Amino acid sequence: MTSEETSPAILFEGVGVLFGASPARQWLNIQDLLRDGQSKDAIRMATGHTLGLADVSFTIDPGEMFVVMGQSGSGKSTLLRLINGLVVPTVGTARVGGVDVASLNETDVLAFRRQTVSMVFQHFGLLPHRTVTDNVAFPLRVQRCERAAARRCAAEWIERVGLSGYGNAMPAELSSGMQQRVGLARALVTGAPILLMDEPFGALDPLTRRTMQLELKTLQRDLGKTVVLITHDPLEAFTLADRIALLREGRLVQLAAPEEMAAAPANKEVEAFVSAAHRLP
Ligand SMILES: Nc1ncnc2c1ncn2[C@@H]1O[C@H](COP(=O)(O)OP(=O)(O)O)[C@@H](O)[C@H]1O
Ligand SMILES: [Mg+2]
């Protein structure tokens, strides 16, 4: 194998994120509080700063489906935003394709967001007054791709996500499942190797959700994409993931393959996720 094949798609090394007025200055203090076993709330009371993440290290392989779980406020979206450079680590490093994202200047980070990572949102984020084709073509137009070529490319992805014949429809005419297919096509159209998905199926009814999950898995395998997917749904995590990361109050509780997590849950919270995933829907 070449080194490119073996090097991780994403690497977090000792990443900590603190939100507030002077995070870098507070960090040593925070570390002491964490070492004392203080909760996130206690840290906020003591310092006026909110803990996003602490001590997070992991690698994600190219082509991996990496699922992030955890209660609301546990740091899932922060983890995703570190990957596309919307959040900068207070300490530690987040590398994507070998590049330290925080070191990119403004121009380079924009190019990076267009070429290397693309995002699928829970509430689709479609342009309501543009057709399906124009929505999917949009990222290419931003990259100054010529209109006809962008629309041709969009048409291919519209077909690929199962929306043939809907190119001229407006988003509001589509069911929510179909709207998320548009969101997916728009994320795929740039050819970015990494897909970031923040609860992409959270707004869909259970049946549609199951269908989309299975289709995503197939697409991801066929295209060899690296996917980082956030979910609240234990069944979704266990169905899709190559590995699952469970966060609590900004820290990694467990990072393991689903079967490994089921066999040896790190604590009661993980155990509860595992049993929720294995209960019939
Ligand atoms: N820009 C921000 N400014 C201040 N606090 C933030 C900011 N972004 C996130 N947080 C806080 O960081 C913690 C983690 O947030 P987030 O990553 O969005 O959690 P999750 O996605 O798991 O619900 C939360 O307590 C949240 O309130
Ligand atoms: Mg979130």
Rounded to the nearest angstrom, the distance between the alpha carbon of 245 and the centre of ligand 2 is 14
Residue 266 lies in a domain: yes
Q: Which ligand is nearest to the CA of 73?
A: 1
168 CA distance to ligand 1 middle (Å): 38
Per-residue pLDDT tens over the stretch 91-122: 999 999 999 999 999 999 999 998 999 999 99
Does residue 131 lie within any of the structural domains?
no
Confidence band for 7, pLDDT divided at 50, 70 and 90: confident
Predicted confidence band of residue 6 (pLDDT cuts 50, 70, 90): low
Predicted confidence at residue 194, as pLDDT, reads 97
Residue 127 inside a domain? The answer is: no
**Exposed e or buried b per residue across 181-212, where buried means at least 16 C-beta atoms within 10 angstroms of its C-beta:** bbbbbbbbbbebbbbbbbbbbbbbeeebbbeb
Burial class (CB in 10 A: 0-12, 13-18, 19+), 261: buried
Q: How many domains does the chain have?
A: 1
Domain membership flag for residue 208: yes
Which of the pair, 281 or 9, is modelled with greater confidence? Answer: 9
Residue 203 lies in a domain: yes
78 Cα: distance to centroid of ligand 1 (angstroms): 6
Cβ of residue 52 lying under 6 Å from some atom of ligand 1? yes
* Residue nearest ligand 1's atom 18 by CA: 77
Neighbours of 141 (CB within 10 A): 15
223 domain residue, yes or no: yes
The overall average pLDDT reported for the chain is 94
Q: Does the Cβ of 6 fall within 6 Å of ligand 1?
A: no
Residue 279: pLDDT above 90? no
| Protein residue closest via CA to atom 27 of ligand 1 | 73
Q: Evaluate: CB of 16 within 6 angstroms of ligand 1.
A: no
pLDDT at position 281 over 70 = no
Domain span including residue 265: 62-85+103-116+192-278
Tell me the average pLDDT across 185-196.
Answer: 96
In a domain, 28, yes or no: no
User: Which CATH number covers residue 206?
Assistant: 3.40.50.300
Instruction: State the angle between helix axes of 176-188 and 132-142 in degrees (0 to 180), rounded to the nearest 10.
Output: 30
2 CA from centroid of ligand 1 (Å): 38
81 CA closest ligand 1 atom index: 17
Tokens of 212: 């989309």
* Cβ 10 vs Cβ 83: under 8 Å: yes
Choose which residue among 67, 77, 252, 269 to substitute to test ligand 1 binding: the one with the highest number of ligand atoms within 8 A of its C-beta: 77
What is the band of 280 on the pLDDT scale with cuts at 50, 70, 90? low
The per-residue pLDDT for range 242-269, each reduced to its tens digit, is 999 999 999 999 999 999 999 999 999 9
List, for residues 14-67, the tens digit of each pLDDT value.
999 999 999 999 999 999 999 999 999 999 999 999 999 999 999 999 999 999
Q: 1 falls in which pLDDT band (50, 70, 90)?
A: very low
77 CA to centre of ligand 2 in angstroms? 4
Query: Can you give the pLDDT at residue 278?
Result: 84
pLDDT at 73 over 80: yes
Q: Is residue 144 part of a domain?
A: no
Does the pLDDT at position 90 exceed 90?
yes
pLDDT at 2: 44
